[in-house]
Amino acid sequence: MATQEKDRVNILMVDDQASKLLSYESILSELDENLIKASSGREALDHLLRSDIAVVLLDVSMPDLDGFELADMIHEHPRFQKTALIFISAVHLTDLDRLRGYASGAVDYISVPVVPELLRAKVVVFAELHRKTRQLENLNRELRRLSSSLIMTQDDERRRIARELHDGLGQELSAAKMLADQVAVHANSIELAKHMASDTSELISRAIQQVRSISHLLHPPLLDEVGLHFALRSYVEGLTKRSGVETSVDVQPADFPRFAPELETAIFRIIQEALTNVFRHSGARRASVTLAIQGDHVNAIVRDDGKGIPGDVAEFRSDSIGIGIGGMMQRVKEFGGELRLRNTHPGTAVEVSIPIRNPAAAESLLQVGASFKTEANQQQITIDRS
């Protein structure tokens, strides 16, 4: 998986002397952050209003608007009250000057000549704090968005299940009841009673099948009974029949082990969502699922030969992805894994890699899986794929 590019922050350097700005730029350049220079207080305010500033290096002695006055103006604005200000001064070095600086909202007060290592160390602390705060705010926004989408999805799912129960199961049971009532009325006609009993049995069989289908969609029973490997094969076979999209499954090793129920459920749901997207959006004729253990990770890849996905979706831009992909991302994050979408020309590949929590137990898991499979074969477990 590709490494994530560093989320750079903006550092504003304010001084009326160009030589000092060049000096600060030289000292801080190795931090690989965005360095912004301002030669006056007015210019600094303009940058603050236009950019998200993490740290401000502020010269105390400046014409027109000195550092103390500028600091007061900055922290009077609600947006900048938490902005880190570091005063740098070669003149105002008394304790009263320092007290005034801290009273203006400064987080530090450095005297000239500046020690490069000390300045870098102080800036790094506040830049990293700002970066983490910004990341936390982004995660909170994403969490609120997902929570809202989840509530809507749950409501839609409840409506769908209610409709399925009313229009499908409810109708079949109502018809079965009417036929059962008619059997009693026509009890004297053996042939007619037999015919009605047969029709009633058929209706009840269809009702049972609908119950199984609804149960399978809510939580596949095979996932608990025989594990991810067999539940996945059963699901893909059913999807192929229903959708007409020819889908293959390749699982490595053949004696795929059992994992914790929450991990098996997460992997199953991720693959299920990816295949649902193939069926709904890709226009594909073929798809494939690869599930494999590689080292201390379990990897899953879902490929199709359809029309591909837009670039903004592949880049996981929050305004472009829906609840389906958002849910996949959240499941992967919960287990410390990685998710990647890419166009394969033709088609799309959804790639998931999730660490196995206890890598040292991977070998024993393989043995447990093999033992489980042998026992299942001995007991002649049959899987209802209808």
364 and 271, same domain (yes or no): yes
CATH of the domain at 71: 3.40.50.2300
Answer whether residue 127 is part of any domain.
no
Answer whether residue 134 is part of any domain.
no
Answer whether residue 363 is part of any domain.
yes
Q: Following CA atoms 287, 293, 294, 295 in sequence, which dihedral angle do they give, to the nearest 10 degrees?
A: 170
| Per-residue model confidence (pLDDT) at position 184 | 64
> What tens digit of pLDDT does each residue of 262-296 get?
899 889 989 988 998 898 888 889 999 999 999 89
Q: Indicate the pLDDT class of residue 360, thresholds 50, 70 and 90.
A: very low
Which of 378, 328, 318, 343 lies closest to 144 in space, CA to CA?
318
Taking the C-alpha atoms of residue 150 and residue 118, their distance in angstroms, rounded to an integer, is 48
- Location of structure tokens 């594990």: 227
Confirm if 162 and 154 have CB atoms less than 8 A apart.
Answer: no
Fill in the amino acid letter for 372. Answer: F
Computed over every residue of the chain, the mean pLDDT equals 79
Strands (E), the chain: 10-14, 34-38, 53-59, 84-89, 106-111, 246-252, 286-294, 297-304, 338-343, 348-355
Question: Would you tell me how many other CB atoms lie within 10 Å of the CB of residue 214?
Answer: 15
Answer whether residue 93 is part of any domain.
yes
Answer whether residue 264 is part of any domain.
yes
Answer whether residue 210 is part of any domain.
yes
pTM score, two decimals?
0.47
198 and 71, same domain (yes or no): no
Confirm if 248 and 289 have CB atoms less than 8 A apart.
Answer: yes
Domain end, chosen from 215, 236, 262, is at: 215
Residue 127 predicted with pLDDT over 80: yes
> What tens digit of pLDDT does each residue of 212-261 get?
666 666 667 778 888 899 889 988 888 888 788 899 999 999 889 999 88
Q: Indicate the pLDDT class of residue 368, thresholds 50, 70 and 90.
A: very low
Answer whether residue 305 is part of any domain.
yes
| Per-residue model confidence (pLDDT) at position 5 | 57
235 and 370, same domain (yes or no): yes
241 and 342, same domain (yes or no): yes
Taking the C-alpha atoms of residue 223 and residue 368, their distance in angstroms, rounded to an integer, is 16
**Residue 34 structural domain:** 10-114
Residue 361 predicted with pLDDT over 60: no
229 and 363, same domain (yes or no): yes
User: Length of the chain, please?
Assistant: 386
**Mean pLDDT score, 189-209:** 76
CATH of the domain at 360: 3.30.565.10
**Mean pLDDT score, 289-304:** 93
> What tens digit of pLDDT does each residue of 106-125 get?
778 888 888 889 889 989 98
**Mean pLDDT score, 364-373:** 42
Per mean pLDDT, which of 34-43, 102-111, 137-146 is the most reliable? 34-43
> Into how many domains does the chain fold?
3
